[in-house]
């Protein structure tokens, strides 16, 4: 159960620094692997699109073949990315729990069957977050689109245009805030899913929602405390320190929640 004492940010950060010390290089390699692989596969996909267009210019019809290749490459990319994302969380969970063979926990998710499970988890979580986005952003989209349409047709007075435009922007900002708060309910879903292969994707998501009930704002405050660290990453060099530190701290919070 999550308590106020457990959620002392300074304590969590101090413990995280101790745990990540000596493993920072490995943590960065995991991050770089996901980024470089996705960049590589994206280049291949765009290359395949370019080649199909060249063939098309020469009058060679490759529509079905090129579509099949693109779908296959996209699926491979999503599977590997999902495996890396879930495997990374498994690695951090092993590190946080002082477990041996953390690398084995990472590569466990690259097995074909587990890769598809990781993909399904990410797809399901994406769909749930998309539904929340529709709920919170649709009103502002309707207002702003109406303002644009009415102003383009010349049927809107200036003062009314300003009032509605400002209202639409404020509605969008408030929607963003509520969206971020709502989606924090799934903060530990990935950690639960990665640390227990027996859990289904939906079960992990539901457990995360139940465990974080009443503690969302504590999680939000914890993440907000990292804003100065995250902003320092614009200078690139601090990112090599901040990324593993932040990820280990998040895992530490997730671990303490599930105790």
- Per-residue pLDDT tens digits for 86-95: 999 999 999 8
Buried b (16+ CB within 10 A) or exposed e, 188-204: bbbbbbbbeeebebeeb
- The answer on pLDDT for 259 being more than 70 is no
* Average pLDDT score over residue span 68-81: 86
Q: Which residue has the higher pLDDT, 97 or 62?
A: 97
* pLDDT for the residue numbered 89: 94
Whether the CB-CB separation of 189 and 205 falls below 8 Å is answered with yes
- Per-residue pLDDT tens digits for 140-196: 999 999 888 888 777 677 778 888 889 999 999 999 999 999 999 999 999 999 999
Percentage above 90 pLDDT, the chain: 41
| Mean pLDDT lowest among 6-10, 68-72, 129-133, 220-224 | 6-10
- The answer on pLDDT for 109 being more than 90 is yes
* pLDDT for the residue numbered 246: 93
Distances in Å between the alpha carbon of 202 and those of 165, 189, 244? 39, 9, 28
Residue 162: strand, helix, or coil: helix
Whether the CB-CB separation of 34 and 81 falls below 8 Å is answered with yes
| Mean pLDDT lowest among 46-50, 121-125, 171-175 | 46-50
- The answer on pLDDT for 57 being more than 70 is no
- Tell the residue number behind the tokens 């799934």, with chain if given: 186
pLDDT-based confidence at residue 100 (cuts at 50, 70, 90)? confident
Q: Which residue has the higher pLDDT, 213 or 174?
A: 174
* pLDDT for the residue numbered 5: 43
Query: What is the value of pTM for the model shown?
Result: 0.84
- The answer on pLDDT for 254 being more than 50 is yes
Give residue limits of the domains in the chain.
9-257
Tell me the backbone φ, ψ of residue 188, rounded to 5 degrees.
Answer: -100, 5
* Average pLDDT score over residue span 109-115: 93
């Amino acid at each position: 159960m999550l308590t106020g004492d457990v959620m002392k940010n300074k304590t969590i950060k101090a413990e995280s620094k101790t745990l990540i010390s000596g493993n920072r290089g490995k943590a960065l390699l995991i991050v770089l692997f996901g980024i470089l692989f996705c960049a590589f596969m994206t280049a291949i996909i765009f290359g395949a699109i370019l080649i199909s267009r060249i063939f098309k210019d020469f009058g060679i019809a490759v529509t079905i073949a090129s579509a099949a290749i693109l779908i296959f490459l996209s699926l491979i990319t999503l599977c590997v990315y999902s495996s890396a994302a879930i495997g990374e969380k498994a690695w951090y969970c092993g590190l946080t729990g002082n477990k041996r063979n953390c690398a084995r926990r990472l590569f466990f998710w690259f097995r074909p069957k587990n890769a598809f499970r990781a993909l399904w988890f990410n797809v399901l979580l994406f769909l749930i977050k998309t539904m929340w986005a529709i709920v919170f952003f649709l009103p502002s989209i309707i207002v702003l689109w109406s303002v644009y349409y009415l102003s383009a047709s010349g049927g809107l007075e200036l003062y009314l245009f300003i009032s509605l435009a400002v209202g639409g922007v404020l509605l969008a900002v408030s929607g963003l805030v509520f969206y971020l708060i709502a989606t924090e309910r799934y903060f530990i879903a990935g950690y639960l899913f990665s640390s227990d292969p027996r859990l289904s994707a939906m079960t992990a998501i539901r457990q995360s929602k139940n465990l974080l009930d009443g503690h969302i704002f504590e999680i939000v405050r914890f993440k907000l405390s990292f804003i100065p660290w995250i902003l320092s990453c614009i200078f690139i060099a601090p990112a090599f320190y901040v990324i593993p530190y932040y990820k280990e701290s998040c895992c530490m919070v997730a671990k303490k929640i599930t105790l």
